[in-house]
Structure 1
Amino acid sequence: MIVEDSTVVRRLLAHIVSGDPRLVLAAAVASAEEALRELPRVRPDVISMDIRLPGMDGLEATRRIMAEQPTPIVVIADSVRDSTFGISMNALKAGALSVVEKPVGIETGGHEQIAETIRTQLYIMSQVPVIRQRGTLAVRPRLLAEPAQRPPPQQPAVLAIAASTGGPPALAQVLGALPADYPLPVLLVQHMGAAFMEGFASWLNGLVPLKVALAQEGEVPQPGRVYVAPGDRHLLLSPQGVLRLSSEKPLASQRPSATILFRSVAAAAGERALGVLLTGMGEDGAVGLTEMRRAGGYTITEHESTAVVYGMPAAAVRLGGSSLSLPLPAIGPRLAQLGRREAQA
């Protein structure tokens, strides 16, 4: 189902969908209200959701859909620079799975790349099982008892964290549990379109106590700051403790790559490396996290009970790369605890 008030863009999206044999257009509507009326009848596998809509906006529509008839939602962002981008990010927090650029005219440069991204995201997200949003995630008490397991052998010096599908709200929850004076620098990879990364960092900066910004080449990472891999660049920590940005070819189709980040942190920090792998489709980060653990670092994966997509954490667990598996609400407090240990040392 396409939800888009502009007739021109709605037709363009329909044309894009028709170009993929894996996709069939179930409905195309001009408002959130119409989408909600049609949803029980059409029962689409995935929804393309505009944010700037007349009447009810796409954020409220996402909330309603996830509460009443959970369906995978891909947000189509009108602009990465205006206020609607923050609304798009909040739609992810409300249960949407990903955000992609709104298509431009067929004759415009870059159209086919954007169109292919839209087609791929719609198909992939149509396969994701979603659950009704009930505000806070239910956490099993048995799982929350796991932090009593063996602590890291060394006091952590740097935290590397990565996520993909479902990542922005998960990262907001984890980093939101860390104090502003958290004693470790945080290096972060989130799979997202390059055009969105600056807006994503700004959105996250407004939600969590730590200062969040895009990483810059040659920076020395400081405690209490989050360094986000910029669009279409790998983020690495050099043996000298300096941030490096690389345009090296994608690894397993990903740039930035979580595995490349984890691998560099393992080499630079060894037993003092702390790694976290959250929700995401595919296996990026699994090999790198495993290397980090083998180098003596401490690694945490998100438990299947809370992951939107358990692909990346599951791959790390299969490879033996997870020191500890925790439900999402327990990860931030665990990291805060490890940080207090560092501060008291």
Structure 2
Amino acid sequence: MIVEDSAVVRQLLAHIVSRDPRLQLAAAVSSAEEALAELERVRPDVISMDIRLPGMDGLEATRRIMAERPTPIVVIADAVEERGFRISMNALRAGALTVVEKPFGPAREGWEQVAESICTQLYIMSQVPVIRRRASAAPPAPPAPRPMAGRAVGRPALVGVAASTGGPPALARVLGALPPAVPVPVLVVQHMGAPFMEGFAAWLNGLVAPQVEIAKDRMMPRPGHVYVAPGDRHLGITAGGLMQVSEAPPVGGQRPAADVLFQSMARHLGPRGMGILLTGMGEDGARGLTALHAAGGLTLAEDETSAVVYGMPAAAVRMGGVSALLPLDLIGPRLLKALGTEAS
């Protein structure tokens, strides 16, 4: 189901979907109200959701859909429109799975790449099981952590965190546990389209206490700061402790790749590095986290009970690279404990 108020963009999205053999257009509507009215009849496998809609916006529509008939939602957003992007990020917190760039027509440069990205994300997300979210319901008590084979480690000198599908709200939850003066730098890899990364960092900066900014090559990371990998660039750490931002080829189809970050930490920090792998599809980060674990670093992964997609953490567990497997709500407190800054 396509939800888009612009007739031109709606027709463009319908054209993009109709030419992909993996997809079949179930409905195309111009408002959130119409989408909600048609939802039970159409029963789509996945929804393409505009955010700036007349009447009810895409954020409220996402909340309503996730409460009434949970369905995978892919947000289609204009990356350069700041207010709309903030709404898009909040829609991810409300249960949408990912955000992709809005198409602007075949005459624009990069048209085929944007169209392919939209179709691929719609197809992949259509396979993701989603759960009902009711605002009035009390959250269930988190299950106990599942300790894995590991060893005691000292306080880390640097923390690396990586996520993919479902990552923005998960990152906001984990990093939201940190105090403004967190005693170590935090480096973040989030799989997201390059045009969105500046907006993502700004959105995250408005939610968490430490300063969030885009990582820059050859910069020394500082305590109290969170550094996000730039769009379409790898992020790692050098032997001298500087951040390394590179245009090296994608690893496992990803750039930035979590494996690049964690492997550089394993190589140059060893037991002084701490890695956290959150929700995400595929296996990116699993090998790197395993290398960091083998080098003596503390490694955490998100448990299946809370992960939107349990692909990346599951791969790390299979490889034996996880010190502790935790539901999302327990990762922040465990991070604080490792840093020696447990909340009072």
TM-score by length of 2: 0.96
- For this pair of structures, how many residues does the alignment match? 340
Alignment root-mean-square deviation, CA = 1.6
Aligned-partner residue type, residue 138 of structure 1: P
Aligned ranges 1:204-243 → 2 under 5 Å: 204-243=204-243
Match of 1:153 in 2: 153
Aligned ranges 1:90-105 → 2 under 5 Å: 90-105=90-105
1:140 aligns with 2:142: yes
Give the superposition deviation at 1:147. 7.3
Give the superposition deviation at 1:257. 0.3
SS in 2 for 1:26: coil
Aligned-partner residue type, residue 304 of structure 1: E
Give the superposition deviation at 1:340. 1.6
**Structure 2 Cα separation of the partners of residues 47 and 5 of structure 1:** 14
Contact 2:165 2:309 in 1 (8 A): yes
Give the superposition deviation at 1:109. 1.4
Contact 2:148 2:322 in 1 (8 A): no
Residues 271-319 of structure 1, C-alpha deviations (whole Å, 9 max, x = no match): 1110000000000000000000000101000000000000000000000
SS in 2 for 1:83: helix
Percent identity among equivalent residues?
66
Give the superposition deviation at 1:90. 0.4
**Structure 2 Cα separation of the partners of residues 203 and 187 of structure 1:** 16
Contact 1:139 1:329 in 2 (8 A): no
**Structure 1 Cα separation of the partners of residues 253 and 150 of structure 2:** 35
**Structure 2 Cα separation of the partners of residues 86 and 119 of structure 1:** 23
Match of 2:286 in 1: 286
1:305 aligns with 2:305: yes
Match of 1:322 in 2: 322
Match of 1:51 in 2: 51
Match of 2:187 in 1: 187
Residues 177-218 of structure 1, C-alpha deviations (whole Å, 9 max, x = no match): 111111110000000000000000000000001100000111
Contact 1:139 1:327 in 2 (8 A): no
SS in 2 for 1:76: strand
**Structure 2 Cα separation of the partners of residues 63 and 84 of structure 1:** 16
The unaligned stretches of length 5 or more in structure 1 are none
TM-score by length of 1: 0.96
Aligned-partner residue type, residue 153 of structure 1: V
Aligned-partner residue type, residue 206 of structure 1: G
Cα distance change of structure 1 residues 250 and 137 upon mapping to structure 2, 3 Å threshold: farther
Cα distance change of structure 1 residues 162 and 148 upon mapping to structure 2, 3 Å threshold: closer
Contact 1:147 1:334 in 2 (8 A): no
Give the superposition deviation at 1:268. 1.3
**Structure 1 Cα separation of the partners of residues 35 and 262 of structure 2:** 42
Match of 1:249 in 2: 249
Instruction: Pick which of 128-137 and 146-155 moved more.
Output: 146-155
**Structure 1 Cα separation of the partners of residues 99 and 150 of structure 2:** 38
Contact 1:81 1:199 in 2 (8 A): no
Contact 2:147 2:325 in 1 (8 A): no
Contact 1:71 1:130 in 2 (8 A): yes
Match of 1:36 in 2: 36
**Structure 2 Cα separation of the partners of residues 181 and 288 of structure 1:** 27
Match of 2:166 in 1: 166
List structure 1 runs of 4+ shifted beyond 3 angstroms: 134-137, 146-152
Give the superposition deviation at 1:15. 0.3
Instruction: Pick which of 250-259 and 131-140 moved more.
Output: 131-140
Cα distance change of structure 1 residues 130 and 64 upon mapping to structure 2, 3 Å threshold: same
Cα distance change of structure 1 residues 150 and 121 upon mapping to structure 2, 3 Å threshold: closer
The unaligned stretches of length 5 or more in structure 2 are none
Give the superposition deviation at 1:148. 12
Contact 1:137 1:306 in 2 (8 A): no
Match of 2:18 in 1: 18
SS in 2 for 1:8: helix
Cα distance change of structure 1 residues 39 and 172 upon mapping to structure 2, 3 Å threshold: same
**Structure 2 Cα separation of the partners of residues 219 and 155 of structure 1:** 22
Instruction: Pick which of 333-342 and 113-122 moved more.
Output: 333-342
Residues 322-341 of structure 1, C-alpha deviations (whole Å, 9 max, x = no match): 00000000000110111126
Aligned-partner residue type, residue 276 of structure 1: I
**Structure 2 Cα separation of the partners of residues 125 and 148 of structure 1:** 30
Contact 2:128 2:309 in 1 (8 A): yes
